[in-house]
């Protein structure tokens, strides 16, 4: 068999060449392709002959399926009908990227992808009620998988016992003449394999160490929301306690159970004195809503805090500016709590000022919570 090499440097119509490779993949060819980690070799999972060839090329004698590769994060829903929130958190934060998720799928016949596969081929995708999913962070990989339009399984482009290749030349040394196409996009960016994480229920464990370290995964496994005002005594504690209360009610979890489930809600102040309590007006407004805020202790906004949280809501424009001054990389994670404008500071005001402040924050919290819950339920 002659292996065709598609090179970004040598092929004038690289995009059309990728389309040719995608069509060949769809029709049963084996295609070597780049990812951000190592080069992989892909097959159409719905084609028994293609998967058998992939197994032969890889010298695999076991019956375990290969990892499903996705063109985009949303495609995971084709393989997993429902999943633990922690799996979707990992996908939301790490995909596209060097993370392989092994998720529960008790009955593969009920999945959307079952409609696109012969029943006997489901065993080439699912194994003992689980499926391995990977969404590579490489434009050529994404285009290849998307244009193929079939379920794609893949493994590293090497024979058993050899190291995974980091460039097309390494893949050719292993598989020249055994595959139809090799897409050459230069050396891989990370040069190490993806981290494999098994998710089951609300827990997770690393099955294979890789490009993403455990301390990073620990952070990704949590959904942490931060509210920021000036002194962390009036507005942001109101937002924090209201959001936590509503989130717990919607999920049927106590504040303690929320934390155990990976949800954390906190607040900070751009000029807060550490350890201060919430203002009396804030405590009164929370109490009117059946919430005890007496345990609140103020904390100053720090770079470490900004970097650790998933999303940040600023109570006023100046708070967002300070967040970005401290950590410019947080631009995609910080927004005003109330999209209609800043929340006036009630400090020094009377009950009416605090009531208006609480009502504005309450409306904004309800809107933000709906967006979060909708996103937390989908890939």
Claim to verify: residue 38 and residue 166 sit in the same structural domain: yes
Q: Give the residue carrying structure tokens 């993370």.
A: 99
pLDDT at 1: 85
What is the per-residue pLDDT for 9?
62
Domain boundary among 218, 238, 270: 218
- Residues 6 or more apart from 132 whose CB is under 8 A from it? 65, 66, 67, 68, 100, 101, 102, 196
Give the Cα separation of 264 and 246 in Å (integer).
Answer: 13
Q: What is the pLDDT of residues 230-250, one digit of tens each?
A: 999 999 999 999 999 999 999
Note the helical H segments in the chain. 14-26, 48-58, 85-94, 139-148, 168-175, 214-220, 235-251, 255-260, 280-288, 303-308, 317-326, 351-376
> What three-state secondary structure class fits 178?
coil
Q: Specify the pLDDT at position 172.
A: 98
* pLDDT over 60 (residue 12): no
CATH code: domain of residue 60? 3.90.870.10
Q: What local confidence, expressed as pLDDT, does residue 282 receive?
A: 98
Say if residue 211 is in the same domain as residue 356: no
Residues 362 and 333 in one domain: yes
Across the range 119-126, mean pLDDT stands at 93
- Residue of 109, 161, 106 whose CA lies nearest to 129: 106
Q: What is the pLDDT of residue 11?
A: 53
Residue 206 tokens, joined: 């690393």
Range of the domain at 182: 4-218
Task: Tell me: do 195 and 268 sit in the same domain.
Answer: no
Residues 43, 192 share a domain: yes
What are the phi and psi torsion angles at 154 (to 5°)? Answer: -155, 165
Given 158, 187, 218, the domain boundary residue is: 218
The answer to whether 361 and 337 have CB atoms below 8 angstroms apart is: yes
Q: How far apart are CA 220 and CA 235, in angstroms?
A: 27
Type and span of the H or E element at 291: none
Domain boundary among 218, 234, 253: 218
Specify whether 198 is located in the same domain as 234: no
Rounded-to-integer distance, Cα 54 and Cα 378, Å: 32
Share of the chain above pLDDT 90, in %: 89
Please check whether residues 314 and 353 belong to one and the same domain.
Answer: yes
Same domain for 336 and 323: yes
Q: What percent of the chain stands above pLDDT 70?
A: 99
Averaged confidence pLDDT in the chain? 95
Instruction: Answer yes or no: is pLDDT of 229 > 70.
Output: yes
**Residues 213 and 230 placed together within one structural domain of the fold:** no
d(CA 103, CA 197): 9
Dmax of the chain from CA atoms?
83
Whichever domain contains 300, its CATH number is 3.40.50.2300
Q: Verify that 194 and 243 share a domain, yes or no.
A: no
Quick one: pLDDT band at residue 58, thresholds 50, 70, 90? very high
């Amino acid at each position: 068999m002659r292996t065709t090499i598609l090179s970004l440097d040598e092929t004038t119509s690289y995009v059309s060449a990728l389309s040719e490779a995608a069509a060949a993949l769809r029709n049963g060819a084996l295609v070597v392709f780049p990812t951000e980690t190592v080069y992989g070799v892909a097959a159409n999972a719905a084609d028994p002959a293609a998967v058998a060839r992939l197994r032969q090329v890889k010298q695999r004698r076991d019956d375990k399926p290969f990892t499903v590769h996705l063109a985009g994060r949303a495609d995971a829903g084709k393989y997993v009908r429902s999943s633990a929130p922690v799996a979707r958190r990992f996908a939301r934060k790490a995909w596209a990227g060097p993370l392989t998720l092994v998720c529960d799928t008790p009955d593969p016949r009920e999945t959307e992808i079952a409609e696109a596969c012969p029943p006997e081929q489901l065993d080439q995708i699912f194994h003992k009620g689980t499926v391995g999913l990977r969404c590579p962070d490489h434009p050529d990989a994404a285009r290849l998988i998307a244009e193929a339009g079939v379920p794609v399984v893949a493994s590293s482009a090497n024979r058993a016992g050899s190291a995974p290749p980091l460039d097309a030349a390494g893949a050719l040394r292993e598989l020249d003449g055994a595959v139809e196409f090799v897409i050459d996009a230069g050396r891989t960016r990370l040069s190490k394999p993806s981290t494999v994480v098994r998710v089951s229920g609300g827990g997770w464990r690393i099955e294979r160490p890789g490009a993403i370290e455990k301390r990073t995964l620990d952070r990704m496994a949590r959904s942490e929301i931060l509210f920021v005002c000036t002194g962390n005594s009036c507005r942001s504690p109101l937002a924090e306690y209201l959001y936590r209360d509503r989130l717990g009610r919607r999920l049927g979890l106590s504040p303690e159970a929320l934390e155990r489930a990976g949800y954390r809600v906190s607040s900070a102040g751009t000029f807060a004195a550490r350890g201060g309590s919430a203002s009396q007006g804030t405590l009164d407004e929370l109490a009117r809503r059946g919430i005890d805020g007496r345990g609140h202790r103020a904390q100053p906004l720090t770079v470490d805090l900004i970097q650790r949280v998933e999303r940040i809501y600023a109570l006023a424009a100046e708070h967002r500016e300070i967040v970005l001054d401290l950590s410019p990389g947080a631009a995609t994670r910080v927004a005003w709590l109330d999209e209609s404008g800043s929340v006036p500071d009630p400090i020094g005001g009377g009950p009416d000022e605090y009531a208006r402040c609480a009502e504005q924050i309450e409306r904004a919290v309800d809107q933000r919570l709906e967006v979060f819950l909708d996103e937390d339920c989908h890939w």
